[in-house]
Amino acid sequence: MGGRPRVALLQAGQEGEHRQITVLMTDLVGFTPFVERSGEEAAFALVSHVSQLTTAAVHRHRGSVKNFTGDGILALFGTPTALEDGPLRACRAALEIQARLIDASDKMEVELGIRPQLRISITTGPVVLGAVDSGESTGVTAHGDIVNFAARLQTEAEPGTVLISEAMLRQVEGMVEARLAGEFRFKGKSGPQRAYQLVAVRDHATRFDAAVARGLTSYVGRSHELAVLQAQLESVSSIRVVDIVGDAGIGKSRLLHEFASKRGADQLTILRGNCSADGQGTPFLPFIEIVRQWFALSAGEPDTIILLKLEDGLKRIGLWSSFNRELLLNLLGLQTDEGALSELDGTLIGARTRDLLLRLIAEQSRQSRHVLLLEDLHWIDSASEDLLLRIIEGGAALPLMILHTRRPEYHPTWAVCPGIIELRLAPLSSAETLRIAQHRFGVDELPTLLGNLIVDKAEGNALFVEEIARYLIERDVVHHTPTGLICDAGMAAAALPASVQLLLTARVDRLPPEDRRLLQIASIIGRRFDLDLLAQVGAGTGDIERRLMSMTDLDLVHRSGGSRDFEFNHILVRDAIYDGMLGSQRSELHLRTADAIELRGAGRISEVAEALAYHYSQSTRHDRAFRYCALAGRKCLDIYSLEEAERYFHKALSLIEAAPQCADDRAMATVAVSLLEVLYLRGDLLGLREAAESWLPRLEALGDSSQLVSALYFQCMLLNHHCNFVAAEVRAKLALSIAQRLDDTRAQAYARSALLFCSTILGRYTLEEAEAEGSRVLEACIRAGDNYILNWAYWSIAWDYICRGLTNNARIWALKLIDAGRVRQDDRALGMAYWTLAWIDIQDHHFADAIADAQQCRKTAATPYDRNAGEMAIATGLLLEGKIAEGLAQLLALKKWAVDNGWLYSAGGVDFAAGPALAATGRIAEGIRMLKAGIAACDASGCRAMASWNRLSLAELYLRMLSADKAPSLKFVLSNLRPIVWVSMYGNQQAQQLLNEVLQNDQLHKLSTSRGWIEINLARLCLLKGSSDQALLHLEAARAAATAQGSTPMLNEILCIERTLSSPAPVPVQKQSPS
Taking the domains of the chain in order of start, what are their residue ranges? 3-211, 217-424, 430-496, 506-581, 806-898
Q: Which of 90, 89, 109, 92 is nearest to 49 (CA)?
A: 109
Residue 518 or 203, more confident: 518
Q: pLDDT tens across 851-903, in order?
A: 999 999 998 888 888 999 999 999 999 999 989 989 999 999 999 999 999 99
Grade residue 760 by pLDDT with cuts at 50, 70 and 90.
Answer: very high
Residue 969 or 769, more confident: 769
Query: Of 145-159, 214-228, 405-419, where does the model show the most confidence?
Result: 145-159
Write down the pLDDT at residue 540: 64
State the amino acid at position 10 in one-letter form.
Answer: L
Query: What does the alpha-carbon distance between residue 1066 and residue 791 come to, in Å, rounded to a whole number?
Result: 50
**Quick check: 819 and 845 in contact, CB under 8 A?**
no
Query: What does the alpha-carbon distance between residue 673 and residue 696 come to, in Å, rounded to a whole number?
Result: 9
Query: What does the alpha-carbon distance between residue 571 and residue 554 come to, in Å, rounded to a whole number?
Result: 16
pLDDT of residue 1074 exceeding 50 = no
Write down the pLDDT at residue 263: 66
Q: What are phi and psi of 204, to 5 degrees?
A: 55, 30
Helix H or strand E encompassing 596: helix 583-600
Write down the pLDDT at residue 628: 96
**Quick check: 57 and 26 in contact, CB under 8 A?**
no
Write down the pLDDT at residue 213: 45
Grade residue 221 by pLDDT with cuts at 50, 70 and 90.
Answer: confident
**Quick check: 728 and 739 in contact, CB under 8 A?**
no
Grade residue 625 by pLDDT with cuts at 50, 70 and 90.
Answer: very high
Query: What does the alpha-carbon distance between residue 449 and residue 457 come to, in Å, rounded to a whole number?
Result: 12
pLDDT of residue 207 exceeding 70 = no
Three-class secondary structure of residue 79 per DSSP: coil
Fold matches, 3-211 and 217-424: no
Write down the pLDDT at residue 1067: 46
Give how far Cα 438 sits from Cα of 441, 454, 456, 520, 955, Å.
5, 11, 15, 32, 82
Instruction: Report the chain's C-alpha Rg in angstroms.
Output: 39
Query: Of 107-111, 635-639, 829-833, where does the model show the most confidence?
Result: 829-833
Helix H or strand E encompassing 247: none
Beta carbons within 8 Å of 110's beta carbon, 6+ residues apart: none
**Quick check: 284 and 353 in contact, CB under 8 A?**
yes
Lowest-confidence pick of 326-340, 458-472, 764-778, 886-900: 458-472
Give Dmax over CA atoms of the chain in angstroms: 136
Q: What are phi and psi of 371, to 5 degrees?
A: -120, 125
Long-range contacts of 496-499 (CB under 8 A, 24+ apart): 496/453, 496/457, 496/468, 496/471, 496/472, 497/471
Beta strand pairing status for 176-184 and 240-245? unpaired
Beta carbons within 8 Å of 870's beta carbon, 6+ residues apart: 831, 834, 835, 838, 854, 855, 857, 858, 861
| DSSP single-letter state for residue 968 | P
- Within its chain, how far is the Cα of 65 from the centroid? 47
**Quick check: 821 and 829 in contact, CB under 8 A?**
yes
Q: pLDDT tens across 356-394, in order?
A: 999 998 888 888 888 999 998 988 998 899 899 988 888
Q: pLDDT tens across 423-445, in order?
A: 998 888 999 889 888 888 888 88
**Quick check: 667 and 630 in contact, CB under 8 A?**
yes
Beta carbons within 8 Å of 8's beta carbon, 6+ residues apart: none
Report cis status (omega within 30 of 0) of the bond before 80. yes
pLDDT of residue 13 exceeding 50 = no
Q: Which of 402, 390, 373 is nearest to 240 (CA)?
A: 402
Helix H or strand E encompassing 199: strand 193-201
Write down the pLDDT at residue 10: 35
Grade residue 600 by pLDDT with cuts at 50, 70 and 90.
Answer: confident
Query: What does the alpha-carbon distance between residue 90 and residue 122 come to, in Å, rounded to a whole number?
Result: 7
Q: Which of 959, 982, 976, 966 is nearest to 923 (CA)?
A: 976
Q: Which of 1049, 1075, 531, 1066 is nearest to 803 (CA)?
A: 1075
Give how far Cα 834 sits from Cα of 173, 346, 589, 842, Å.
65, 22, 53, 12
pLDDT of residue 135 exceeding 60 = no
Domain 3-211 sits in CATH at: 3.30.70.1230
User: 663-688 burial string, b = 16+ CB within 10 Å, else e?
Assistant: beeebbbbbbbbbbbbbbbbbbbebb
Q: Which of 16, 26, 98, 9 is nearest to 66 (CA)?
A: 26
Distance spanning both ends of the chain, measured CA to CA: 81
CATH class of 217-424: alpha beta
Q: pLDDT tens across 171-181, in order?
A: 787 778 899 99
Q: What are phi and psi of 9, to 5 degrees?
A: -65, -45
User: What percent of the chain is predicted at pLDDT more than 70?
Assistant: 90
| Correct CATH for 506-581 of 3.30.420, 1.20.1630, 3.40.50, 1.10.10 | 1.10.10
Grade residue 936 by pLDDT with cuts at 50, 70 and 90.
Answer: very high
Query: What does the alpha-carbon distance between residue 273 and residue 256 come to, in Å, rounded to a whole number?
Result: 12
- The partner residues of 406 in beta bridges, in order of sequence, read 245
Q: Which of 513, 524, 504, 493 is nearest to 597 (CA)?
A: 524
Residue 935 or 1062, more confident: 935
Q: Taking residues 645-669, what's their average pLDDT?
A: 94
Query: Of 231-245, 275-289, 557-571, 660-674, where does the model show the most confidence?
Result: 660-674
Query: What does the alpha-carbon distance between residue 111 and residue 781 come to, in Å, rounded to a whole number?
Result: 75
pLDDT of residue 1057 exceeding 80 = yes
Neighbours of 315 (CB within 10 A): 11
- The partner residues of 67 in beta bridges, in order of sequence, read 74
Query: Whole-number mean pLDDT of the chain?
Result: 86
pLDDT of residue 210 exceeding 50 = no
Q: pLDDT tens across 454-513, in order?
A: 888 777 888 788 778 877 877 778 888 777 788 876 677 666 554 566 556 666 777 888
**Quick check: 289 and 272 in contact, CB under 8 A?**
yes
What is the 3 state secondary structure string of 450-466?
HHHHHHHHHCCCHHHHH
Q: Taking residues 900-907, what's their average pLDDT?
A: 93
Query: What does the alpha-carbon distance between residue 128 and residue 994 come to, in Å, rounded to a whole number?
Result: 104
Query: What does the alpha-carbon distance between residue 612 and residue 598 come to, in Å, rounded to a whole number?
Result: 7
User: What percent of the chain is predicted at pLDDT more than 90?
Assistant: 48
Write down the pLDDT at residue 497: 54
State the amino acid at position 444 in one-letter form.
Answer: D
pLDDT of residue 850 exceeding 90 = yes
Write down the pLDDT at residue 204: 42
The model's pTM: 0.68
Write down the pLDDT at residue 955: 95
Three-class secondary structure of residue 764 per DSSP: coil
Beta strand pairing status for 528-529 and 484-487? unpaired
Three-class secondary structure of residue 961 per DSSP: helix
User: 1053-1075 burial string, b = 16+ CB within 10 Å, else e?
Assistant: bbeebeebeeeeeeeebeebbbb
Query: What does the alpha-carbon distance between residue 276 and residue 377 come to, in Å, rounded to a whole number?
Result: 8
Write down the pLDDT at residue 136: 46
Give how far Cα 151 sits from Cα of 24, 194, 399, 765, 799, Å.
9, 15, 55, 101, 91
